[in-house]
Amino acid sequence: MAKKIVADLQAAGQQVIDLTIGEPDIATPAHIIDGALDAMRAGDTHYTASAGQPALRRAIAETVQREKGLPCGPDNIVVGCGAKQLIYEAFAATLNPGDEVIIPAPYWVSYPDIATLHGGSPVIVACGPDVGFKLTAAMLEAAITPRTRWLVLNSPNNPTGAVYSRQELSELAEVLHRHPHVWVMTDEIYEHLCYDGARAPSLVEVAPLLFERALIINGTSKAYAMTGWRIGYAAGPKPLIDVIVKMIGQSTTCASSVGQAAALVALTGDQTCVSEAKAMYQARRDRMLEILSDAPGLDPYSPSGAFYIYVGVSALLGRTSPGGKRIETDLDFSLYLLEEARVAVLDGGAYGLSPYLRLSFAASPDAVEAGSRAIVTACRALV
Ligand code: PLP
């Protein structure tokens, strides 16, 4: 809803500071673009294998092996049109009507929708600030039933930026070892965007035995500012990968050859662009948190990864805006910010856990600065 109102306001010539964005505001690094141009000129403009170009699959397998210590070869890898396609095809390939998919909330909005689209039943487990917005072993144990097909884990998390520690992951793994019918999808798309020197370990690297029933989801969209190139990948056991490849063969045929060439350069080339992006986002995060600390009633959760701040607003519910609107929910709060402060943010309800707002610091530094200040002013104006 907020995105539609933003578009309408902008079409009407109104200035809106957009803190809803879920992608880097920076351009794809030049050496990656050059690699794509070289590939195009060399005639790399045809269909590829549905699983992806062999060189790219090899490079991804080597990365997974090196970084996570997993016995991963090219046969364990499939390349898709973004991480999203791989989540979609994995659920399409494995879910039967009524199969349950455990999704800790708050969650990236697409998991429950894609599961539902394929007949699955999302089992949403609310993970509040008391557990650092992370699923605990006890919560997982309580959510598992004989119908559970998948657990979806997303670390670093969208929308909270929470990162699971090795200890937390090994506790979850212990539960999963007791329930061999449960598969686990680990969405690691923000893996390289961790702050304060932190690293986001993978559940499967902590518990390698789970690799035989795990699907690691990753891609180039976020760390390499390549959202529009649409390249993602999945790593998992060969039988599951083979089925996903079959699905891709009858849906998109393959990911773009040019995008795959660019992804190969991204993954195998100079990684300075990733550390620079990380430093840039960390500075924006720190600035946003600093400004928001002046807002009466806001409770921002400092993220360890990704590029969002999840902000609690419970202390401000029940207040009234200068325009006379009573704010009962986080959605009301986001509409107040949009209509009266001209700042667009997303409400926690959209992510399955209220009352919160999600603020993106992937927006430009000017937008981060002006948007955060406008939010502080708007909080002070509530009566
Ligand atoms: N997973 C999460 C947690 C995301 O936030 C997103 C994009 O917002 C994706 C997956 C999709 O990424 P891609 O652009 O590779 O499809």
CA dist 348 and 159 (Å) reads: 9
DSSP characters over 112-171: HHHHHHTT-EEEEEE--GGGTT---HHHHHHH--TTEEEEEEESS-TTT-----HHHHHH
Distance 51 CA to ligand 1 centre (A): 19
Position 2 scores a pLDDT of: 64
Ligand 1 within 6 A of 305 CB?
no
154 CA: nearest ligand 1 atom:
3
User: Which CATH class name applies to 2-22+273-380?
Assistant: alpha beta
Position 176 scores a pLDDT of: 98
Give the DSSP letter of residue 315. G
Atom 7 (ligand 1) nearest CA? 22
Tens digit of each residue's pLDDT (9 = 90 or more) over 73-126 = 999 999 999 999 999 999 999 999 999 999 999 999 999 999 999 999 999 999
In 3D, which of 149, 160, 216 has the Cα closest to residue 188?
Answer: 216
Task: Give CATH 3.90.1150.10 domain extents, the chain.
Answer: 2-22+273-380
pLDDT tens for the chain, residues 1 to 383: 667 778 888 888 889 999 999 999 999 999 999 999 999 999 999 999 999 999 999 999 999 999 999 999 999 999 999 999 999 999 999 999 999 999 999 999 999 999 999 999 999 999 999 999 999 999 999 999 999 999 999 999 999 999 999 999 999 999 999 999 999 999 999 999 999 999 999 999 999 999 999 999 999 999 999 999 999 999 999 999 999 999 999 999 999 999 999 999 999 999 999 999 999 999 999 999 999 999 999 999 999 999 999 999 999 999 999 999 999 999 999 999 999 999 999 999 999 999 999 999 999 999 999 999 999 999 999 99
Atom 5 (ligand 1) nearest CA? 158
Distance 110 CA to ligand 1 centre (A): 9
SS3 (DSSP) at 203: helix
Report in angstroms the alpha-carbon separations of 183 from 153, 216, 364.
11, 11, 39
User: Which CATH class name applies to 30-268?
Assistant: alpha beta
Ligand 1 within 6 A of 83 CB?
yes
Ligand 1 within 6 A of 63 CB?
no
What type of residue is 117? Answer: L
Where would I find the H helices in the chain? 2-11, 30-41, 54-68, 82-94, 110-117, 137-143, 166-178, 203-206, 238-249, 257-268, 272-292, 330-341, 365-380
| Predicted ipTM > 0.90 | yes
Position 190 scores a pLDDT of: 98
Q: How many CB atoms lie within 10 A of CB 110?
A: 15
Position 320 scores a pLDDT of: 97
Distance 341 CA to ligand 1 centre (A): 29
Q: Taken in order 245, 248, 253, 256, is the CA torsion positive or negative? A: negative
Task: Give CATH 3.40.640.10 domain extents, the chain.
Answer: 30-268
Q: Which of 189, 224, 233, 358 to mutate to test the pocket of ligand 1 (most atoms within 8 A of CB)?
A: 189
Distance 189 CA to ligand 1 centre (A): 6
Ligand 1 within 6 A of 156 CB?
no
Ligand 1 within 6 A of 122 CB?
no
Position 5 scores a pLDDT of: 78
Q: Which of 85, 108, 267 to mutate to test the pocket of ligand 1 (most atoms within 8 A of CB)?
A: 108
Report in angstroms the alpha-carbon separations of 84 from 108, 110, 208, 342.
11, 8, 24, 31
Tracing tokens 């190139």 back to the chain, one arrives at 229
Q: What is the pTM of this model?
A: 0.96
